[in-house]
Chains A and B, each alone.
Chain A
Amino acid sequence: MDGMIYLSLAYIAMIAAIAIWTWTVVTRSRSIEARLAAVESTIGLSADEGDDVASQSVDE
């Protein structure tokens, strides 16, 4: 039965790790979204102006 207890602990640790990772990513996305909305509304920038590094040489 010891084996099943260790397995349960491992499963709990795994699912917790995935939950924390997923939650961190979602929180980060929401935080940047809020900052972006605030800055873009200040300067009236359109949503199309994206990657400055790539946009000037791609698709020529």
Chain B
Amino acid sequence: MKNFALTYLVLAVAILFSFGESIEAGKGIDVKLESNKLSSYQVGQEVVLTFSSEGDADLALFYSNSYGSSLLSSTKNGNTVSFKFPKFVSDKIGTIVWKLINQDKIIEQGQIQMKPSKQVVGIETYLGPIFMQAGQSEYGHLVSIPTDSMDNPVETNTEVLVNQQFYSSNVSSSVFTSHLMSFEIIPTKTQSGRISINAISEQISSKELTTEVNATNPEDYEIKAKTNHPYADGNQLATLSTSVIKDKYGNVVVDGTFVKFLIVNKNNSQLFANGTTINGVATAKINHPNEADTWKVSSYIHGMAKSSEIQVQFLAAIKEYEVSFSDSNKNIKIGPIKSYMNQLIPDGLNVQLRVIKGGEIIYKTAQPTSDGIVNFVLKSSLINKGSYEIEVELAGITKSYKNIDL
């Protein structure tokens, strides 16, 4: 940054002085440009400015091009003074502005145009974006810049051939450079897939570039549910899955698309499960309810697509259970609890116990079953002596025992 600032400063001062001093230009010293004042060269050619001068003038050449500004020192040969521009300056297309300076005074100035070459040696290409959505609205943009051996963009109106390969179809088009470069619009396809692209100018080809067309917004789809058995045992998993989700062109949506399954149970609670698609199918698993229920299951991709609603019915796995009291009603045993085939239920079903007096819950506790059985011990330190109502609830079945003395 500092260097730039300095360059600008020097340039600004130089320009300022060039106005101020131009009236005095050439005073005292007789300098004459031997080459053309407004000359142009082919890029890569050697550029030498030659002046005839009489006397012993101390001459320097100040020049600027797109790289920046600098001073050149002279080579003297008799009455001629010549300035040779360095190769990196004469290898670059564009304008070189020069000023001949003698003791801080500008005595001559001019411009040199460096003209681009016609010979293409390389081709620079830029393509973006590298992913697009299927349809009609999106497009990619290919910029190609054929360059010469000195890395300059070649002459305007150079032809560039753009090839696009999409599955088995190959499309070519010609574009022409303008303002140093050429560009081509790559419209997206309605089918998802990969477009391979290259650009060729005068037999020189770019590297292979690709842009990928992905499915666009999903369309509505169907869902289904799969269960291993129809009982509400709170343990087995129900699998919810979608049909293959596609966009309106029939492309399968990208992997990882987020799908939400909504479940409304008999209490109107909105439960949900999430799934992400693989090959268009999203799957989610959720455990069976603890009690008989009919789930209304639907699914959606937010704002874009939804499924119709299906119903999944769960039958009661536990129909009846026993409650027995012992140790002056302090010990309450529930079970053995049996499931749909009269087998003991799997461990971990939550059983709730409530001690009620006058409609008010005095004490409540819950325990998971183990080997189909739950034992509650009501400690006398927790409940005062008296007569209570005891309520047991499991798998949606509530049993109530009144006038139990504790």
* A and B interact physically: no
